[in-house]
Amino acid sequence: MLNVANLRAKIDGKEILKGLNIEVKPGEVHAIMGPNGSGKSTLSNVLAGRDNYEATDGTVMFEGKDLLSLVPEDRAREGIFLAFQYPVEIPGVSNLEFLKTSLECLHTHQNKPLLSAVEFMKLAREKCRLVDLDTDFLKRGVNEGFSGGEKKRNEIMQMLMLEPKLCLLDETDSGLDIDALKVVADGINQLRSPERSFILITHYQRLLDYVQPDFVHVLADGKIIKSGGSELALELEEKGYSWLESGTEQSA
C-alpha cells in the first residue's frame, strides 16, 4: 500500500530525513517511536504534502501512485489521512461544513453516492458519540477554542467520518488522560480492517497497550534504525533509545 524508499527531506534547507525506508501493507499497523526531534513529524508532514517540506531524494509510492507528485488535496482524495500533532484551528469554518465538504469530495472521487443531509447528520452524530464529543461541537469552528483533548478526539472523529485507507496519527495520544486515550484507541480499533493501514507515531507504550501494532520502528536522526514486533515497544519503554543510537554509531 505505502512504500517509502530512501526518502530524504529538508525543511528550510536543513536535511531532516536522511534515507528513510518503510513499507506498509494493507491491514497493517505500524508504530513509529523515537527521540524528540528525530524527524517523526517531518515524515508525516512530507507524506501529507505540507508546505515547506521538501523531499529531495527517494520515492513514496501509495497504491502504485507517486505520492510526492500529488498536491495535498489529491493525497487526501486518494485516502490518506493525517491527524496532526498540533491540530490546526480553522475559525469561521464549522466542523459540520468541514466534514460535509471533505466527505463529498471523497465520495465524488470514489464514485460513491453522496449522503443526503439527513444521512450525513445521522452519521456525524453517531461518530461524535463514539468519541464522546457533544454534538454541539459540530456547529463550532474546526478546533476553535477546543481543549487539547477535544482536538485529539475531533481528529479521531474526522478519521471515523472519512474512513481513510491510510491513517497517520502523529502523537494523537500525547497529553491525553486515560479516558481520552481509550477513545483514541477505540477509534483506531474500530477502523482497523484488512484493507486499512495505520502509522502511529507515539512516544509511549501505553497507546500500544490498547492498539496492538504489527511492527514497531525506531526513527532516530532521520532514519529507521531498528524495526521489530510489539515487544520492541516494551523494550524501548524499559531501556530508552540510547542503547540503539550508540549501537548505530559503532556500526557506522
Nearer to Mg ion, 40 or 153 (CB): 40
Q: Which of residues 63-102 bind Mg ion (CB under 5 A)?
A: 85
Which residue minimizes CB distance to Mg ion?
A: 41
172 part of the interface to Mg ion, by CB under 5 A? no
C-alpha grid cell, residue 207: 497507546
Q: What contacts 62, CB < 8 A, 6 or more positions away?
A: 1, 2, 3, 75, 78, 80, 166
Shortest distance, CB of residue 6 to Mg ion, whole angstroms? 22
- Residues comprising the chain, all counted: 252
116 part of the interface to Mg ion, by CB under 5 A? no
Task: Quote the CA–CA distance of 62 and 68 in Å, as a whole number.
Answer: 9
87 part of the interface to ligand ADP, by CB under 6 A? no
Nearer to Mg ion, 41 or 197 (CB): 41
Task: Quote the CA–CA distance of 225 and 247 in Å, as a whole number.
Answer: 9
Shortest distance, CB of residue 34 to ligand ADP, whole angstroms? 6
- Total residues at interface with ligand ADP (CB under 6 A): 12
CB 11 within 8 A of CB 54: yes
Site mask, ligand ADP, residues 35-64, x = CB under 6 A?
-xxxxxxx----------------------
The gap between the terminal CA atoms of the chain, to the nearest Å, is: 31
Residues that bind Mg ion in the complex, under the rule CB under 5 A: 36, 40-41, 85
